[in-house]
Structure 1
Amino acid sequence: MLFDSRITNSNLLGHRKLNTKHIGHFSTTIFGILLALVVLFGINSFVIINPGQAGVISILGKAKDAALLEGIHLKPPFITVTDVYDLTVQKFEIPAESSTKDLQNLTARFTINFRIDPMKVVEIRRKKGSLANIVSKIIGTQTQEAFKIAAARRTVEEVITKRSELKEDFDTALGDRLDKYGIIVLDTSVVDLTFSPEFARAVEEKQIAEQRAQRAVYIAREAEQEAQAEINRAKGKAEAERLLAETLKAQGGQLVLQEEAIEAWKTGGAKMPNVLVMGENSQGSIPFIFN
Protein backbone atom coordinates (compact mmCIF):
# COMPACT_ATOMS: atom_id res chain seq x y z
CA MET A 1 0.00 0.00 0.00
CA LEU A 2 2.87 2.36 0.75
CA PHE A 3 4.28 1.71 -2.70
CA ASP A 4 0.96 2.39 -4.38
CA SER A 5 0.57 5.64 -2.48
CA ARG A 6 3.93 6.83 -3.74
CA ILE A 7 3.01 5.99 -7.30
CA THR A 8 -0.26 7.88 -7.01
CA ASN A 9 1.37 10.98 -5.58
CA SER A 10 3.96 10.93 -8.32
CA ASN A 11 1.28 10.75 -10.99
CA LEU A 12 -0.60 13.66 -9.47
CA LEU A 13 2.54 15.78 -9.41
CA GLY A 14 3.22 14.99 -13.09
CA HIS A 15 -0.31 15.95 -14.08
CA ARG A 16 0.00 19.24 -12.20
CA LYS A 17 3.25 20.09 -14.00
CA LEU A 18 1.70 19.19 -17.36
CA ASN A 19 -1.34 21.36 -16.73
CA THR A 20 0.87 24.27 -15.66
CA LYS A 21 2.87 23.93 -18.87
CA HIS A 22 -0.30 23.85 -21.00
CA ILE A 23 -1.66 26.91 -19.24
CA GLY A 24 1.63 28.75 -19.91
CA HIS A 25 1.49 27.91 -23.62
CA PHE A 26 -2.16 28.96 -23.81
CA SER A 27 -1.42 32.30 -22.10
CA THR A 28 1.47 32.96 -24.47
CA THR A 29 -0.73 32.21 -27.48
CA ILE A 30 -3.50 34.51 -26.23
CA PHE A 31 -0.97 37.29 -25.60
CA GLY A 32 0.49 36.86 -29.07
CA ILE A 33 -2.96 37.03 -30.68
CA LEU A 34 -3.88 40.13 -28.70
CA LEU A 35 -0.56 41.78 -29.61
CA ALA A 36 -1.09 40.98 -33.30
CA LEU A 37 -4.59 42.44 -33.14
CA VAL A 38 -3.28 45.61 -31.51
CA VAL A 39 -0.56 45.96 -34.15
CA LEU A 40 -3.02 45.27 -36.97
CA PHE A 41 -5.49 47.71 -35.50
CA GLY A 42 -2.77 50.35 -35.15
CA ILE A 43 -1.50 49.87 -38.71
CA ASN A 44 -5.00 50.24 -40.12
CA SER A 45 -5.76 53.31 -38.01
CA PHE A 46 -3.54 55.76 -39.87
CA VAL A 47 -2.18 56.45 -43.37
CA ILE A 48 1.00 58.22 -44.44
CA ILE A 49 0.88 60.57 -47.46
CA ASN A 50 4.33 61.36 -48.86
CA PRO A 51 5.38 64.71 -50.41
CA GLY A 52 4.09 65.07 -53.94
CA GLN A 53 1.04 62.92 -53.20
CA ALA A 54 -2.60 63.33 -52.23
CA GLY A 55 -4.97 60.73 -50.83
CA VAL A 56 -8.70 60.11 -50.81
CA ILE A 57 -10.28 58.02 -48.04
CA SER A 58 -13.36 55.95 -48.84
CA ILE A 59 -15.39 54.63 -45.88
CA LEU A 60 -17.57 51.67 -46.84
CA GLY A 61 -17.25 52.70 -50.49
CA LYS A 62 -18.06 56.42 -50.03
CA ALA A 63 -15.26 58.94 -50.63
CA LYS A 64 -14.78 61.62 -47.99
CA ASP A 65 -14.97 65.24 -49.14
CA ALA A 66 -11.53 66.37 -47.96
CA ALA A 67 -8.34 65.21 -49.68
CA LEU A 68 -5.38 64.06 -47.60
CA LEU A 69 -2.18 65.99 -48.22
CA GLU A 70 1.32 65.01 -47.10
CA GLY A 71 1.64 63.82 -43.49
CA ILE A 72 0.10 61.22 -41.11
CA HIS A 73 -3.69 60.94 -41.02
CA LEU A 74 -5.97 58.84 -38.78
CA LYS A 75 -8.68 56.71 -40.32
CA PRO A 76 -11.24 54.12 -39.16
CA PRO A 77 -9.56 50.70 -39.37
CA PHE A 78 -10.71 47.79 -41.55
CA ILE A 79 -13.61 49.65 -43.19
CA THR A 80 -11.64 52.24 -45.20
CA VAL A 81 -9.73 52.26 -48.49
CA THR A 82 -7.16 54.95 -49.30
CA ASP A 83 -6.43 55.91 -52.92
CA VAL A 84 -3.14 57.78 -53.33
CA TYR A 85 -2.52 60.04 -56.35
CA ASP A 86 0.82 61.29 -57.63
CA LEU A 87 0.78 65.10 -57.90
CA THR A 88 4.14 65.38 -59.63
CA VAL A 89 4.48 65.97 -63.39
CA GLN A 90 3.22 63.03 -65.43
CA LYS A 91 4.22 62.37 -69.05
CA PHE A 92 2.30 60.27 -71.55
CA GLU A 93 2.43 59.85 -75.33
CA ILE A 94 -1.02 59.78 -76.92
CA PRO A 95 -2.03 59.13 -80.57
CA ALA A 96 -4.67 61.16 -82.41
CA GLU A 97 -6.32 61.29 -85.82
CA SER A 98 -8.19 64.05 -87.63
CA SER A 99 -9.17 65.59 -90.97
CA THR A 100 -8.06 68.98 -92.26
CA LYS A 101 -10.17 71.76 -93.72
CA ASP A 102 -9.65 70.31 -97.21
CA LEU A 103 -10.57 66.79 -95.99
CA GLN A 104 -7.06 65.36 -95.89
CA ASN A 105 -6.41 62.71 -93.23
CA LEU A 106 -3.79 63.39 -90.57
CA THR A 107 -2.32 61.18 -87.88
CA ALA A 108 -0.20 62.47 -85.02
CA ARG A 109 1.36 61.54 -81.70
CA PHE A 110 1.47 64.03 -78.87
CA THR A 111 3.53 64.03 -75.70
CA ILE A 112 1.44 65.51 -72.87
CA ASN A 113 3.06 66.77 -69.65
CA PHE A 114 0.47 67.35 -66.93
CA ARG A 115 -0.23 67.15 -63.23
CA ILE A 116 -3.34 66.67 -61.09
CA ASP A 117 -4.84 69.61 -59.21
CA PRO A 118 -4.65 68.60 -55.52
CA MET A 119 -7.85 70.52 -54.78
CA LYS A 120 -9.80 68.34 -57.23
CA VAL A 121 -8.46 64.92 -56.28
CA VAL A 122 -11.73 63.88 -54.59
CA GLU A 123 -13.73 64.82 -57.68
CA ILE A 124 -11.31 62.87 -59.87
CA ARG A 125 -11.63 59.85 -57.56
CA ARG A 126 -15.41 59.94 -57.69
CA LYS A 127 -15.68 60.39 -61.46
CA LYS A 128 -12.70 58.61 -63.00
CA GLY A 129 -10.85 56.67 -60.33
CA SER A 130 -7.29 55.59 -61.04
CA LEU A 131 -4.53 57.37 -62.98
CA ALA A 132 -4.88 54.80 -65.77
CA ASN A 133 -8.52 55.78 -66.17
CA ILE A 134 -7.56 59.46 -66.16
CA VAL A 135 -5.15 58.92 -69.04
CA SER A 136 -7.37 56.65 -71.13
CA LYS A 137 -10.81 58.15 -70.47
CA ILE A 138 -10.02 61.85 -70.04
CA ILE A 139 -6.65 62.85 -71.45
CA GLY A 140 -6.76 60.45 -74.40
CA THR A 141 -10.30 61.45 -75.41
CA GLN A 142 -9.74 65.18 -74.98
CA THR A 143 -6.44 65.03 -76.89
CA GLN A 144 -8.33 63.54 -79.82
CA GLU A 145 -11.00 66.26 -79.67
CA ALA A 146 -8.46 69.08 -79.34
CA PHE A 147 -6.54 67.80 -82.36
CA LYS A 148 -9.75 67.71 -84.42
CA ILE A 149 -10.43 71.35 -83.52
CA ALA A 150 -6.92 72.51 -84.41
CA ALA A 151 -6.67 70.54 -87.67
CA ALA A 152 -10.12 71.50 -88.98
CA ARG A 153 -9.16 75.21 -89.02
CA ARG A 154 -6.53 74.86 -91.75
CA THR A 155 -5.66 72.96 -94.89
CA VAL A 156 -3.11 70.19 -94.85
CA GLU A 157 -0.60 72.46 -96.56
CA GLU A 158 -1.08 75.02 -93.79
CA VAL A 159 -0.61 72.24 -91.25
CA ILE A 160 2.82 71.60 -92.76
CA THR A 161 3.92 75.18 -93.29
CA LYS A 162 2.34 76.59 -90.10
CA ARG A 163 3.00 73.81 -87.64
CA SER A 164 3.59 76.17 -84.72
CA GLU A 165 0.13 77.70 -85.19
CA LEU A 166 -1.42 74.21 -85.21
CA LYS A 167 0.29 73.39 -81.91
CA GLU A 168 -0.85 76.70 -80.40
CA ASP A 169 -4.49 75.98 -81.26
CA PHE A 170 -4.12 72.42 -79.96
CA ASP A 171 -2.63 73.57 -76.64
CA THR A 172 -5.43 76.09 -76.11
CA ALA A 173 -8.19 73.59 -76.87
CA LEU A 174 -6.65 70.82 -74.74
CA GLY A 175 -5.94 73.10 -71.76
CA ASP A 176 -9.51 74.41 -71.70
CA ARG A 177 -10.98 70.91 -71.89
CA LEU A 178 -8.79 69.28 -69.21
CA ASP A 179 -8.94 72.16 -66.74
CA LYS A 180 -12.53 71.34 -65.79
CA TYR A 181 -11.43 67.81 -64.88
CA GLY A 182 -8.75 69.03 -62.48
CA ILE A 183 -5.90 68.23 -64.87
CA ILE A 184 -3.34 70.99 -65.44
CA VAL A 185 -1.53 70.83 -68.80
CA LEU A 186 2.07 72.02 -68.47
CA ASP A 187 3.43 71.37 -71.95
CA THR A 188 2.75 69.47 -75.16
CA SER A 189 4.87 68.49 -78.13
CA VAL A 190 4.13 66.95 -81.52
CA VAL A 191 6.17 63.76 -81.69
CA ASP A 192 5.00 62.71 -85.15
CA LEU A 193 2.73 64.21 -87.81
CA THR A 194 2.03 62.19 -90.95
CA PHE A 195 -0.21 62.38 -94.01
CA SER A 196 -0.48 60.58 -97.35
CA PRO A 197 2.76 60.09 -99.35
CA GLU A 198 1.05 61.38 -102.48
CA PHE A 199 0.23 64.68 -100.84
CA ALA A 200 3.74 64.93 -99.43
CA ARG A 201 5.17 64.66 -102.94
CA ALA A 202 2.68 67.22 -104.26
CA VAL A 203 3.61 69.70 -101.55
CA GLU A 204 7.31 69.14 -102.16
CA GLU A 205 6.88 69.69 -105.92
CA LYS A 206 4.90 72.87 -105.30
CA GLN A 207 7.56 74.20 -102.97
CA ILE A 208 10.24 73.43 -105.57
CA ALA A 209 8.20 75.24 -108.24
CA GLU A 210 7.78 78.25 -105.95
CA GLN A 211 11.51 78.30 -105.28
CA ARG A 212 12.20 78.20 -109.02
CA ALA A 213 9.73 81.03 -109.62
CA GLN A 214 11.39 83.10 -106.92
CA ARG A 215 14.76 82.35 -108.53
CA ALA A 216 13.43 83.48 -111.92
CA VAL A 217 12.18 86.73 -110.40
CA TYR A 218 15.59 87.28 -108.86
CA ILE A 219 17.34 86.64 -112.20
CA ALA A 220 14.95 89.02 -114.00
CA ARG A 221 15.61 91.74 -111.45
CA GLU A 222 19.32 91.13 -111.75
CA ALA A 223 19.11 91.46 -115.57
CA GLU A 224 17.08 94.62 -115.23
CA GLN A 225 19.66 96.09 -112.90
CA GLU A 226 22.45 95.11 -115.33
CA ALA A 227 20.58 96.73 -118.24
CA GLN A 228 20.16 99.88 -116.20
CA ALA A 229 23.86 99.80 -115.44
CA GLU A 230 24.63 99.54 -119.18
CA ILE A 231 22.37 102.51 -119.84
CA ASN A 232 24.14 104.48 -117.15
CA ARG A 233 27.52 103.53 -118.61
CA ALA A 234 26.36 104.55 -122.11
CA LYS A 235 25.12 107.86 -120.77
CA GLY A 236 28.42 108.36 -119.02
CA LYS A 237 30.35 107.60 -122.21
CA ALA A 238 28.19 109.99 -124.25
CA GLU A 239 28.69 112.68 -121.66
CA ALA A 240 32.45 112.09 -121.77
CA GLU A 241 32.47 112.37 -125.57
CA ARG A 242 30.46 115.56 -125.38
CA LEU A 243 32.91 117.05 -122.93
CA LEU A 244 35.78 115.92 -125.16
CA ALA A 245 34.22 117.60 -128.16
CA GLU A 246 33.72 120.80 -126.23
CA THR A 247 37.34 120.69 -125.06
CA LEU A 248 38.63 120.17 -128.61
CA LYS A 249 36.50 123.00 -129.82
CA ALA A 250 37.51 125.37 -127.05
CA GLN A 251 41.27 124.67 -126.94
CA GLY A 252 41.96 123.47 -130.43
CA GLY A 253 42.26 119.94 -129.19
CA GLN A 254 45.98 120.16 -128.47
CA LEU A 255 45.98 118.93 -124.89
CA VAL A 256 43.48 116.16 -125.59
CA LEU A 257 45.36 114.92 -128.63
CA GLN A 258 48.61 114.87 -126.69
CA GLU A 259 46.96 112.81 -123.94
CA GLU A 260 45.50 110.35 -126.45
CA ALA A 261 48.85 109.98 -128.23
CA ILE A 262 50.64 109.19 -124.99
CA GLU A 263 47.92 106.74 -124.00
CA ALA A 264 48.19 105.06 -127.42
CA TRP A 265 51.92 104.59 -126.97
CA LYS A 266 51.31 103.03 -123.55
CA THR A 267 48.55 100.67 -124.56
CA GLY A 268 50.24 99.75 -127.82
CA GLY A 269 53.38 98.62 -126.06
CA ALA A 270 55.64 100.93 -128.05
CA LYS A 271 58.42 102.99 -126.60
CA MET A 272 58.39 106.74 -126.64
CA PRO A 273 60.42 107.95 -129.70
CA ASN A 274 63.87 109.35 -129.06
CA VAL A 275 63.76 111.78 -131.98
CA LEU A 276 60.95 114.25 -132.34
CA VAL A 277 60.56 117.03 -134.86
CA MET A 278 58.66 119.99 -133.58
CA GLY A 279 57.33 122.76 -135.71
CA GLU A 280 57.96 126.39 -135.13
CA ASN A 281 55.91 127.91 -132.39
CA SER A 282 54.77 124.41 -131.44
CA GLN A 283 55.20 124.68 -127.70
CA GLY A 284 52.58 122.53 -126.08
CA SER A 285 51.44 121.03 -129.42
CA ILE A 286 51.31 117.36 -130.28
CA PRO A 287 54.75 115.86 -131.14
CA PHE A 288 55.40 114.30 -134.58
CA ILE A 289 57.57 111.21 -134.93
CA PHE A 290 60.42 111.53 -137.38
CA ASN A 291 60.31 108.41 -139.57
Structure 2
Amino acid sequence: MKKVIYLLCIAVLTMSCAVVRPGEAAMKQKFGNLEDKVTTQGALWFNPFTTKVVKESIQTNNLELLLSLPSKEGLSVSSEISILYHLEKDKVPSILKEIGSNYRSVITNVFRSAAADVCSRFFAKDMHSGRRADIEEEIKVRMDSNLRKQGIVIEAVLLKSIQLPAGLSRSIEQKLQAEQDAMRMEFVLQTERLEAQRKIIEAEGTRDSQKILAEGLTPAIIKIRSIDAFRELARSNNSKVIITDGKTPYLISGVETMTKE
Protein backbone atom coordinates (compact mmCIF):
# COMPACT_ATOMS: atom_id res chain seq x y z
CA MET A 1 0.00 0.00 0.00
CA LYS A 2 2.79 2.41 0.91
CA LYS A 3 4.50 1.57 -2.33
CA VAL A 4 1.37 2.42 -4.29
CA ILE A 5 0.99 5.74 -2.45
CA TYR A 6 4.62 6.48 -3.06
CA LEU A 7 4.23 5.84 -6.78
CA LEU A 8 1.10 7.98 -6.89
CA CYS A 9 2.94 10.84 -5.22
CA ILE A 10 5.77 10.57 -7.74
CA ALA A 11 3.26 10.57 -10.58
CA VAL A 12 1.46 13.63 -9.22
CA LEU A 13 4.76 15.49 -8.74
CA THR A 14 5.80 14.61 -12.28
CA MET A 15 2.50 15.82 -13.67
CA SER A 16 2.76 19.00 -11.58
CA CYS A 17 6.09 20.15 -13.06
CA ALA A 18 6.70 21.57 -16.53
CA VAL A 19 10.19 22.17 -17.87
CA VAL A 20 10.56 25.46 -19.71
CA ARG A 21 13.51 25.36 -22.10
CA PRO A 22 15.57 28.36 -23.25
CA GLY A 23 13.78 30.20 -26.04
CA GLU A 24 10.33 29.35 -24.66
CA ALA A 25 7.80 31.46 -22.79
CA ALA A 26 5.45 29.51 -20.49
CA MET A 27 2.27 30.69 -18.74
CA LYS A 28 -0.22 29.00 -16.47
CA GLN A 29 -3.80 28.68 -17.64
CA LYS A 30 -6.16 28.05 -14.73
CA PHE A 31 -9.80 27.22 -15.46
CA GLY A 32 -9.33 28.68 -18.94
CA ASN A 33 -7.87 31.97 -17.66
CA LEU A 34 -4.35 32.71 -18.88
CA GLU A 35 -2.05 34.32 -16.34
CA ASP A 36 0.13 37.28 -17.32
CA LYS A 37 3.22 36.00 -15.53
CA VAL A 38 5.74 34.57 -17.99
CA THR A 39 8.43 32.00 -17.21
CA THR A 40 11.26 31.76 -19.71
CA GLN A 41 13.29 28.81 -18.48
CA GLY A 42 13.50 26.35 -15.61
CA ALA A 43 10.84 24.36 -13.75
CA LEU A 44 7.26 25.58 -13.48
CA TRP A 45 5.04 23.98 -10.83
CA PHE A 46 1.28 23.88 -11.25
CA ASN A 47 -1.82 21.99 -10.14
CA PRO A 48 -2.49 19.43 -12.88
CA PHE A 49 -6.14 19.12 -11.89
CA THR A 50 -7.02 22.79 -12.33
CA THR A 51 -4.17 24.26 -14.37
CA LYS A 52 -2.20 23.58 -17.51
CA VAL A 53 0.95 25.19 -18.92
CA VAL A 54 0.91 26.95 -22.29
CA LYS A 55 4.26 27.38 -24.09
CA GLU A 56 5.24 29.57 -27.03
CA SER A 57 8.58 30.10 -28.73
CA ILE A 58 10.20 33.52 -28.34
CA GLN A 59 13.14 32.62 -30.59
CA THR A 60 13.50 33.79 -34.18
CA ASN A 61 11.02 31.80 -36.25
CA ASN A 62 10.80 31.39 -40.02
CA LEU A 63 7.45 31.51 -41.78
CA GLU A 64 7.66 30.15 -45.35
CA LEU A 65 5.15 31.29 -47.99
CA LEU A 66 4.73 30.71 -51.71
CA LEU A 67 2.75 33.55 -53.25
CA SER A 68 2.26 35.54 -56.45
CA LEU A 69 3.20 39.18 -56.08
CA PRO A 70 1.66 41.93 -58.25
CA SER A 71 3.91 44.26 -60.23
CA LYS A 72 3.51 47.81 -61.50
CA GLU A 73 2.75 46.64 -65.04
CA GLY A 74 0.08 44.24 -63.78
CA LEU A 75 2.09 41.01 -63.98
CA SER A 76 2.12 38.27 -61.35
CA VAL A 77 5.55 37.28 -60.09
CA SER A 78 5.80 33.98 -58.24
CA SER A 79 8.11 34.04 -55.26
CA GLU A 80 9.08 31.98 -52.25
CA ILE A 81 9.01 34.24 -49.18
CA SER A 82 10.66 33.83 -45.81
CA ILE A 83 9.41 35.99 -42.95
CA LEU A 84 11.67 36.04 -39.92
CA TYR A 85 9.90 37.10 -36.72
CA HIS A 86 9.83 36.61 -32.96
CA LEU A 87 7.37 37.26 -30.15
CA GLU A 88 8.08 39.76 -27.40
CA LYS A 89 8.31 37.83 -24.15
CA ASP A 90 6.16 40.17 -22.06
CA LYS A 91 3.44 40.34 -24.71
CA VAL A 92 3.02 36.62 -25.31
CA PRO A 93 -0.02 36.42 -22.96
CA SER A 94 -1.78 39.28 -24.74
CA ILE A 95 -0.98 37.72 -28.15
CA LEU A 96 -2.60 34.46 -27.09
CA LYS A 97 -5.57 36.27 -25.55
CA GLU A 98 -6.25 38.70 -28.40
CA ILE A 99 -5.06 36.78 -31.46
CA GLY A 100 -4.77 33.19 -30.32
CA SER A 101 -2.24 30.51 -31.06
CA ASN A 102 -2.93 30.87 -34.80
CA TYR A 103 -1.16 34.24 -34.94
CA ARG A 104 0.87 33.05 -37.97
CA SER A 105 -2.20 33.49 -40.16
CA VAL A 106 -2.31 37.14 -39.02
CA ILE A 107 1.35 37.54 -40.08
CA THR A 108 0.52 36.02 -43.47
CA ASN A 109 -2.44 38.36 -44.02
CA VAL A 110 -0.44 41.42 -43.03
CA PHE A 111 2.29 40.35 -45.43
CA ARG A 112 -0.19 39.98 -48.31
CA SER A 113 -1.48 43.50 -47.73
CA ALA A 114 1.97 45.07 -47.34
CA ALA A 115 3.38 43.21 -50.35
CA ALA A 116 0.45 44.27 -52.55
CA ASP A 117 1.00 47.93 -51.66
CA VAL A 118 4.77 47.86 -52.07
CA CYS A 119 5.21 45.56 -55.08
CA SER A 120 2.57 47.40 -57.11
CA ARG A 121 4.96 50.39 -57.19
CA PHE A 122 7.82 48.39 -58.70
CA PHE A 123 8.30 46.75 -62.09
CA ALA A 124 8.56 42.99 -62.25
CA LYS A 125 12.20 43.21 -63.33
CA ASP A 126 12.99 45.19 -60.15
CA MET A 127 12.18 42.11 -58.07
CA HIS A 128 14.91 40.25 -59.97
CA SER A 129 17.50 43.01 -59.75
CA GLY A 130 19.34 45.08 -57.17
CA ARG A 131 16.08 46.74 -56.10
CA ARG A 132 14.88 43.55 -54.45
CA ALA A 133 16.51 44.67 -51.19
CA ASP A 134 14.49 47.93 -51.32
CA ILE A 135 11.26 45.97 -51.81
CA GLU A 136 12.08 43.63 -48.92
CA GLU A 137 12.88 46.51 -46.60
CA GLU A 138 9.70 48.43 -47.42
CA ILE A 139 7.52 45.35 -46.84
CA LYS A 140 9.31 44.68 -43.54
CA VAL A 141 8.77 48.26 -42.33
CA ARG A 142 5.06 48.15 -43.18
CA MET A 143 4.56 44.79 -41.48
CA ASP A 144 6.53 45.75 -38.40
CA SER A 145 4.55 48.97 -37.95
CA ASN A 146 1.32 46.93 -37.89
CA LEU A 147 2.44 43.98 -35.80
CA ARG A 148 4.96 45.33 -33.30
CA LYS A 149 2.29 47.00 -31.19
CA GLN A 150 0.72 43.58 -30.75
CA GLY A 151 4.03 42.02 -29.69
CA ILE A 152 5.11 40.42 -32.99
CA VAL A 153 8.47 41.73 -34.21
CA ILE A 154 9.30 41.33 -37.91
CA GLU A 155 13.05 40.89 -38.27
CA ALA A 156 13.34 40.43 -42.03
CA VAL A 157 11.36 39.71 -45.18
CA LEU A 158 13.24 37.71 -47.81
CA LEU A 159 12.05 37.24 -51.39
CA LYS A 160 13.53 34.01 -52.73
CA SER A 161 13.26 32.04 -55.96
CA ILE A 162 11.78 34.89 -57.99
CA GLN A 163 10.09 33.49 -61.12
CA LEU A 164 9.30 36.13 -63.70
CA PRO A 165 6.80 35.54 -66.54
CA ALA A 166 8.41 33.63 -69.41
CA GLY A 167 8.19 36.51 -71.92
CA LEU A 168 9.71 39.00 -69.50
CA SER A 169 12.52 36.59 -68.59
CA ARG A 170 13.47 36.25 -72.26
CA SER A 171 13.40 40.03 -72.72
CA ILE A 172 15.68 40.55 -69.73
CA GLU A 173 18.08 37.84 -70.95
CA GLN A 174 18.19 39.41 -74.43
CA LYS A 175 18.84 42.83 -72.94
CA LEU A 176 21.65 41.49 -70.76
CA GLN A 177 23.14 39.69 -73.76
CA ALA A 178 22.99 42.87 -75.81
CA GLU A 179 24.71 44.80 -73.03
CA GLN A 180 27.44 42.16 -72.84
CA ASP A 181 27.92 42.30 -76.62
CA ALA A 182 28.15 46.10 -76.51
CA MET A 183 30.74 45.95 -73.74
CA ARG A 184 32.75 43.37 -75.67
CA MET A 185 32.62 45.50 -78.85
CA GLU A 186 33.70 48.57 -76.90
CA PHE A 187 36.66 46.59 -75.58
CA VAL A 188 37.60 45.52 -79.12
CA LEU A 189 37.36 49.11 -80.41
CA GLN A 190 39.43 50.38 -77.51
CA THR A 191 42.06 47.74 -78.23
CA GLU A 192 42.13 48.71 -81.91
CA ARG A 193 42.48 52.40 -81.03
CA LEU A 194 45.39 51.64 -78.74
CA GLU A 195 47.02 49.49 -81.42
CA ALA A 196 46.60 52.30 -83.98
CA GLN A 197 48.17 54.78 -81.58
CA ARG A 198 51.05 52.39 -81.00
CA LYS A 199 51.71 52.08 -84.75
CA ILE A 200 51.59 55.86 -85.18
CA ILE A 201 54.08 56.35 -82.36
CA GLU A 202 56.31 53.61 -83.80
CA ALA A 203 56.20 55.18 -87.28
CA GLU A 204 56.97 58.62 -85.88
CA GLY A 205 59.92 57.18 -83.97
CA THR A 206 61.29 55.47 -87.09
CA ARG A 207 60.86 58.66 -89.12
CA ASP A 208 62.62 60.77 -86.50
CA SER A 209 65.50 58.31 -86.17
CA GLN A 210 66.00 58.22 -89.97
CA LYS A 211 65.86 62.00 -90.09
CA ILE A 212 68.47 62.29 -87.36
CA LEU A 213 70.66 59.71 -89.09
CA ALA A 214 70.36 61.45 -92.48
CA GLU A 215 71.26 64.83 -90.95
CA GLY A 216 74.35 63.29 -89.35
CA LEU A 217 75.71 61.69 -92.55
CA THR A 218 78.05 64.44 -93.72
CA PRO A 219 80.48 63.86 -96.69
CA ALA A 220 83.37 63.49 -94.24
CA ILE A 221 81.59 60.81 -92.24
CA ILE A 222 80.62 58.97 -95.45
CA LYS A 223 84.27 59.06 -96.59
CA ILE A 224 85.50 57.71 -93.25
CA ARG A 225 82.97 54.86 -93.33
CA SER A 226 83.95 54.08 -96.92
CA ILE A 227 87.61 53.78 -95.88
CA ASP A 228 86.66 51.51 -93.01
CA ALA A 229 84.64 49.32 -95.35
CA PHE A 230 87.54 49.09 -97.84
CA ARG A 231 89.96 48.15 -95.07
CA GLU A 232 87.67 45.33 -93.93
CA LEU A 233 87.44 44.15 -97.53
CA ALA A 234 91.23 44.28 -97.92
CA ARG A 235 91.79 42.07 -94.88
CA SER A 236 89.84 39.24 -96.50
CA ASN A 237 91.97 36.48 -98.13
CA ASN A 238 89.40 35.82 -100.83
CA SER A 239 89.75 37.21 -104.34
CA LYS A 240 87.90 40.42 -105.07
CA VAL A 241 86.76 42.39 -108.04
CA ILE A 242 86.26 46.06 -107.39
CA ILE A 243 84.60 48.16 -110.07
CA THR A 244 85.00 51.94 -109.77
CA ASP A 245 84.96 54.95 -112.04
CA GLY A 246 88.71 54.68 -112.47
CA LYS A 247 89.42 57.50 -110.11
CA THR A 248 89.02 55.99 -106.72
CA PRO A 249 88.59 52.52 -105.20
CA TYR A 250 86.20 53.91 -102.67
CA LEU A 251 82.48 54.41 -102.76
CA ILE A 252 81.46 56.92 -105.38
CA SER A 253 78.35 58.98 -106.01
CA GLY A 254 75.20 56.86 -105.76
CA VAL A 255 75.90 53.19 -105.11
CA GLU A 256 78.11 52.24 -108.08
CA THR A 257 80.84 50.26 -106.29
CA MET A 258 80.33 46.51 -106.46
CA THR A 259 82.32 43.85 -104.66
CA LYS A 260 82.32 40.19 -105.33
CA GLU A 261 83.95 37.43 -103.31
TM-score, scaled to structure 2: 0.71
* Residue number among 91, 97, 102 corresponding to 2:68 in the alignment: 97
* Residue number among 112, 127, 137 corresponding to 1:159 in the alignment: 127
Relative distance call for 1:250 and 1:65 in structure 2 (3 A) is farther
**Cα distance in 2 for residues equivalent to 1:55 and 1:290:** 115
Q: 1:116 aligned to 2:87? A: yes
Relative distance call for 1:45 and 1:169 in structure 2 (3 A) is same
**Cα distance in 2 for residues equivalent to 1:61 and 1:40:** 26
Name the structure 2 match of 1:263: none
Name the structure 1 match of 2:232: none
Relative distance call for 1:282 and 1:199 in structure 2 (3 A) is same
Name the structure 2 match of 1:144: 112
C-alpha RMSD of matched pairs (Å): 4.0
**Cα distance in 2 for residues equivalent to 1:151 and 1:96:** 12
Which one has a larger percent helix, Structure 1 or Structure 2? 1
User: Residue 85 of structure 1 aligns to which amino acid in structure 2?
Assistant: E
CA contact 2:18–2:53 (8 Å) conserved in 1: no
Query: Which protein has the larger Cα radius of gyration, Structure 1 or Structure 2?
Result: 1
The CA deviation string for residues 25-54 of structure 1, in whole angstroms up to 9 with x for no partner, is xxx9xxx9xx7xx96995699452422322
Q: 1:243 aligned to 2:196? A: no
Q: Which runs of 5+ in 2 are unaligned?
A: 230-235
**Cα distance in 1 for residues equivalent to 2:157 and 2:136:** 8
**Cα distance in 2 for residues equivalent to 1:259 and 1:244:** 18
* Residue number among 40, 45, 54 corresponding to 2:25 in the alignment: 54
Q: 1:197 aligned to 2:197? A: no
**Cα distance in 2 for residues equivalent to 1:250 and 1:89:** 96
Q: Which runs of 5+ in 1 are unaligned?
A: 1-27, 261-271
CA contact 1:56–1:63 (8 Å) conserved in 2: yes
Instruction: Using the TM superposition, give the Cα deviation of residue 186 of structure 1 relative to its aligned residue in structure 2, in angstroms.
Output: 4.9
Of 92-101 and 210-219, more deviation after overlay is shown by 92-101
CA contact 1:149–1:173 (8 Å) conserved in 2: no
Identity, % of aligned positions: 19
* Residue number among 180, 204, 218 corresponding to 1:211 in the alignment: 180
Q: 1:180 aligned to 2:149? A: yes
CA contact 2:20–2:39 (8 Å) conserved in 1: no
CA contact 1:58–1:81 (8 Å) conserved in 2: yes
Name the structure 1 match of 2:233: none
